[in-house]
Homo-oligomer: A and B are copies of this chain.
Amino acid sequence: MELWYTEEHTKNVRFSIKVDKQLVSFKSEFQRIDIFESKEFGRFLTLDGFMMLTEKDEFIYHEMITHVPMAVNPNAKKILVIGAGDGGTVRELAKYDHIEKIDMVEIDKAVVDLCREFLPSTACKLEDKRVNIYYEDGLKFVRSKHNEYDIVIVDSTDPFGPGEDLFTREFYGNCFNALKDDGILVNQHESPYYEADAIASKRANKQLKAVFPFATVYQLHIPTYPSGHWLFGFASKKYNPVTDLKADIWNSFGIKTKYYNTELHKGAFALPNYVKELISE
């Protein structure tokens, strides 16, 4: 027999992975959670059927959502992470010895529990003593925070289902308030390529620009996401992600990465014309 996982990237495009075994299929209060074992990508996690991460390429997503803001403010000590139940973002943050506090707000405890059991390569640093996990709605959590964090990382699902609130102007406004005067927000920002993703990306950028003095996107290759061409948002009160990059300081940390480096950091903000147009319309 053959077992294939298939995701519809659009109604007309399908991406399929040969699966050895389905390890988990669980319906939580919020979503359906599946974990599969595959030869090509190792284990992979889907939520409501959508690809979240694979063991083969999650390093790209997690390094780029973490080290980009950390290299712009390498002095950051208090970090808020919204979503990120798989633990990959926390694993990257835990590489910085000087970070004092990582608050992680994940709405779905089942994601964290299952990743702890089946994806230890991403969940491995959730026990770090600097990490506080709150199983709450990110939108509500951030409302009560003021001038508290250096960086907010929004490591969310797509802008429908449980992740929907994390793409609203209200949420970004609350993040703005939760951040210190030199605060930075980065977020999962969809893709510029297929139409529905591009519309979501454009909308997210527009909402961010309405709240933050500076908001742009940077790009990365995620082969297992629709089109492989993905964007993260970078919004800040003060810093420009390229001219304020502290390359020497970041490199002095000696952090080992497989995708990120400080030259790539600058390169990732150099956008194709059609992407520049998308976010400037």
List A residues at the B interface (Cβ < 8 Å).
Answer: 4, 10-18, 38-40, 57, 60, 193-194, 219, 221, 223, 227-229, 257-261, 263-274, 276
- Chain B contacts for A264, CB-based, 8 A: 270-273
Question: Closest Cβ of chain B: how far from A222's Cβ, in Å?
Answer: 8
A194: chain B residues at CB < 8 Å are 40
10 additional contacts (CB under 8 A) given A13-B17, A266-B270 = A14-B16, A15-B16, A193-B221, A258-B272, A258-B274, A259-B273, A260-B272, A264-B271, A264-B273, A267-B267
Which residues of chain B have C-beta atoms less than 8 A from A267's C-beta? 266-270
CB atoms of A272 and B261 under 8 A apart:
yes
Chain B residue with Cβ nearest A223: B227
Most buried by B among A10, A17, A223, A276: A223
User: In the bound complex, how far is the Cα of B264 from the Cα of A263, in angstroms?
Assistant: 13
Once the chains are docked, how many angstroms separate the CA of A136 from the CA of B250? Answer: 52
The docked-state distance in angstroms from the alpha carbon of A38 to that of B18 is: 25
Residues of B close to A265: CB separation below 8 A = 270
Q: Determine the distance from Cα of A269 to Cα of B263 in the docked complex, in whole angstroms.
A: 9
Which residues of the other chain, B, contact A17 by a CB distance below 8 angstroms? 12-13
| Shortest CB distance A271–B (Å) | 7
Q: A193-B223, A221-B229, A260-B273 are in contact. Are A16 and B18 (CB under 8 A)?
A: no
Most B-side CB within 10 Å, residue of A38, A259, A263: A263
Please, which residues of chain B bring their CB within 8 A of the CB of A271? 263-264
Partner of A261, one of B219, B260, B263, B273: B273
How far does the Cβ of A272 sit from chain B's closest Cβ, in whole Å?
4
Residues of the B chain whose Cβ atoms lie less than 8 Å from the Cβ of A263: 270-271
CA distance A250 to B60 in the complex (A): 32
Rounded to whole angstroms, the CA-CA distance of A194 and B38 in the bound complex is 14
State whether B219 touches A228 (Cβ < 8 A).
no
How far is B17's CA from A16's CA once the two chains are assembled, in angstroms? 12
Distance (Å) between the CB of A52 and the closest chain B CB?
17
CB distance from A9 to the nearest CB of B (A): 9
Asked, given contacts A258-B273, A267-B267, A270-B264, whether A13 binds B16 with beta carbons under 8 Å apart, the answer is yes
Residues of chain B within 8 A (CB-CB) of A268 are 267, 270
**Within the complex, which residue of B12, B193, B269, B276 is in contact with A18, where a contact is CB–CB below 8 Å?**
B12
- Nearest B residue to A221, CB-CB: B229
